[in-house]
Amino acid sequence: MTQFDDTDIRALYQDLILDHGKNPRNFRVLDGANRTALGHNPLCGDRLALALRVDDQGVVQDAAFQGAGCAIAMASASMMSEMVKGKCVDDAQKLFHFMHMTCTGGDEAAPACLCADDHGRLQALAGVRHYPMRVKCATLAWHTLDAALHNTEKTSTE
Ligand code: ZN
């Protein structure tokens, strides 16, 4: 891949992050939620309340969140809510681990459940690893997802 192409693709996904930050998807109360978690990033003040509806087969049927925070935190939560829908709990957890690993500079192979488009989205979000102050903004939604999947009460990036 030439550097030119890489820059184009990054610009494309950066636009996507801006769009999700301005117009978060799945920003609502979720009826029938059975997995919930609260997330808080004290460094920036981002707060999220995430709700999932997981069916008897362990598939995430719906995901929604509410909260307030910076554009990166909102965009990350919005993109995460879209990505986990229709995934089984195992795969959703693989996405969390991959996102966390990528944001902290790791370079393991992407899990099989990650389609090319979602891979591009996650890599765009993981671009924050060049800005250490923002890493917790981008990973907050994913830590909150992990907590919701484990059904724990509260999570924090601290
Ligand atoms: Zn933030």
Measured in angstroms, how far is the CA atom of residue 45 from the centroid of ligand 1? 6
| 55 Cα–ligand 1 center, Å | 31
Task: For 116-136, write each residue's pLDDT tens digit.
Answer: 889 988 988 888 888 888 899
Residue 42 alpha carbon to ligand 1 centre in Å: 9
**Long-range CB contact pairs, 114-119, < 8 A, 24+:** 118/83
Angle 86-137-129 (CA atoms, 0-180°, nearest 5)? 95
At 5 the pLDDT is 61
Task: Report phi then psi at 40, rounded to 5.
Answer: -145, 130
Residue type at position 59: V
Residue 7 has pLDDT above 80, yes or no: no
Question: Which residue in the block uniquely carries the two structure tokens 């902290």?
Answer: 104
Helix axes of 3-22 and 116-125: crossing angle, nearest 10 degrees: 80
Q: What is the 134 CA–ligand 1 centroid distance (Å)?
A: 6
pLDDT reading at 9 higher than 90? no
Question: In angstroms, rounded to a whole number, what is the distance separating the alpha carbons of residues 38 and 138?
Answer: 15
Read off the pTM: 0.89
State the distance from the centre of ligand 1 to the C-alpha of 83, rounded, in angstroms.
Answer: 20
